[in-house]
A and B are shown apart, each in its own frame.
Chain A
Amino acid sequence: MWLSHVFALLVRGLVGAKPQWIGCRPAPTLRIYYANHTSHMDTLALWCALPNELRAKTRPVAASDYWNRGGIRAYIATHGFNALFIERDKDRRDGDPLEPLLQALGRGESLIIFPEGTRRAQALPSPFKSGIFHLAAKFPDAELIPVYLDNLYRSMPKGTYLPVPLTCSVRFGTPLQRIAGETKESLLQRARQAVVDLA
Chain B
Amino acid sequence: MNMQEKFYWLFGGILALLVLASTIGWVLQRRSPGSATIANLVARVRAWWVMVAIIAVNFFLGKNATVVLFAIASAFALREFVTLTPTRPADHLPLVVCFYVLLPVQYWLIADGWYNLFAIFLPVYGFLLLPVLAAFAGDTEDFLARVTKLQWGLMITVYCISYAPALLLVQVKIHDYSASGQNLLLMIYLLTIVQMSDVLQYVFGKLFGKHKIAPVVSPSKTVEGFVGGGLSAVGIGAALWWITPFAPLQAAGMAAVIVIAGFLGGIALSAVKRSLGAKDWGSMIEGHGGMLDRLDSVSFAAPVFFHLVRYFFEP
Contact = CB atoms under 8 A, between A and B. Distances in A.
A121 interface: yes
Contacts, number: 31
B99 A165 contact: yes
Given A160-B92, A165-B82, A167-B79, A154 B87 contact: yes
Contact of B79 (A18, A157, A165): A165
A160 B82 CA distance: 17
Contacts of B40: none
Nearest to A154: B87
Given A157-B89, A165-B78, A151 B83 contact: yes
B294 to A, nearest CB: 15
B140 interface: no
B100 A162 contact: yes
A10 to B, nearest CB: 13
Contact of B82 (A16, A121, A162, A166): A166
A164 interface: yes
Do most interface residues of chain A lie in helix, strand or loop, or is the interface mixed? loop
A18 B82 CA distance: 17
B75 interface: yes
Interface string B74-115: 010011101100010100100110011000000000000000
Contacts of B95: 164
B283 A166 contact: no
A121 B92 CA distance: 13
B148 to A, nearest CB: 18
A157 B83 contact: no
B229 interface: no
B88 to A, nearest CB: 8
Contacts of B75: 165
B5 to A, nearest CB: 37
B262 interface: no
Contacts of B82: 164-166
B165 interface: no
Contacts of B80: 167
A164 B283 CA distance: 19
Contact of B96 (A16, A154, A164, A167): A164
A165 B82 CA distance: 8
Interface in A161-194: 162, 164-167
Interface string B269-298: 000000000000011100000000000000
Contact of A167 (B83, B89, B100): B83
A166 B89 contact: no
Most-contacted residue by chain B among A121, A151, A164 (CB, 10 A): A164
Return the 6 tightest CB-CB contacts between A and B, nearest first.
A157-B89, A165-B79, A164-B95, A167-B83, A166-B83, A162-B96
20 contacts: A16-B79, A18-B283, A151-B83, A154-B87, A157-B89, A157-B92, A160-B89, A160-B92, A160-B96, A162-B96, A164-B82, A164-B95, A165-B75, A165-B78, A165-B79, A165-B82, A165-B99, A166-B83, A167-B79, A167-B83
